[in-house]
Structure 1
Amino acid sequence: MTVKKKKSHKNKFHKLTFKFSKREFEVLGKCAQLESTTINKFIKRNIRNGIDEMMPRLKTWFDQLQPENQLNLFEDENITEKPVQTSMVEEYSNFYSNENNKNQE
């Protein structure tokens, strides 16, 4: 009879430990009692609330990050103007209109 191997799976949670002084632990217990929850649920809820408050700041921070190997096209920091973008169709409109006239003749 063959033995089945257990499927390996990634842990969805990470273990985190805290050390509280006696006074801090008592206050934490009283706060948890006020909200009629356990200490663990109280801590998790407050951590989630703190993370939700930090998310807008984190998003702006991630948007500002620039990889080290990214090419910097405008190395001069004194340049404030962006280059003017032109349309090739407008630029070569005379060329296209001449071809259309020749085809019509």
Structure 2
Amino acid sequence: MCSRSWVTSWRNQAGEYCTQYLDFYEDRIGKEHLIIEEVPGGLILEETKMTFHWDWDNASQTCIYLDYGRNGIEYLEDVRLGGNTLRAWFTLFEDNVIYDGVYD
């Protein structure tokens, strides 16, 4: 899971196209890059880059918390890793999405 970029895409509640990159590092620091566009490859409406602290939230390693500091805490729940895929239920600010990230 660590030292690789995971990428996934979805449409948010407003119908905009979102692409998110998550990077996890062994020192429990992570980076997120979120791009929101009108359509894939179209006008970029918003682009954010944030750093977070992360750790497993349970002993069975099925839940990861991402602490964005002043921007709050988010969770990846029901985490499954395998075949270069990271799958989880992601409570992403206003959108709840199935995070189906692939190794980029």
The answer to which structure, 1 or 2, has the higher relative contact order (CA under 8 A, 6+ apart) is: 2
- Normalising by structure 2, we get a TM-score of 0.19
- Give the structure with higher Rg (CA): 1
Greater helix share, structure number: 1
Greater strand share, structure number: 2
